[in-house]
Amino acid sequence: MYRILFAVILFASAISTAQAGDAAAGKAHFDKLCVSCHGAGGKGDGPVASALKPPPSNLTVSTLSETDKTNIIKNGGASVGKSPMMASFGASLSDADIANVVTYIGTLK
């Protein structure tokens, strides 16, 4: 009985760890792909933000779920009813890379 329970706990822990991204790796992608619009701190104040209509989202106050953030990064803003100005990065980032970016965004305050 305890072996089964231990195995279930280990399996659940492995799944949880696999889904969690690496914030440092996510920051590297964020700095390369997102800063020009969202800014270094994710506040929507990047160097090209003032030219974009609508302006980029302030990621520090986002109420989007991780699933929505993943979909936006992978498929673009229009995929969840957000601005079509938000490009899709699914062709250039792996699912793991996207998870890393989502994790990094979660650290922005």
* pLDDT tens for each residue of 35-91: 999 999 999 999 999 999 999 999 999 899 999 999 999 999 999 999 999 999 999
Length of the chain: 109
Model confidence at 104: pLDDT above 50: yes
Chain mean position to CA 14? 21
- To which H or E segment does residue 104 belong? helix 95-105
Alpha carbons within 13 angstroms on the beta-carbon side of residue 94 total 5
Sequence-separated (6 or more) residues with CB below 8 Å from residue 2: none
Model confidence at 10: pLDDT above 80: no
Hey, what amino acid is at 36? S
CATH number assigned to the domain covering 22-105: 1.10.760.10
Confidence of residue 33 (pLDDT cuts 50, 70, 90): very high
Q: What is the mean pLDDT of residues 89-101?
A: 97
Higher pLDDT, 88 or 18: 88
pLDDT score of 20: 75
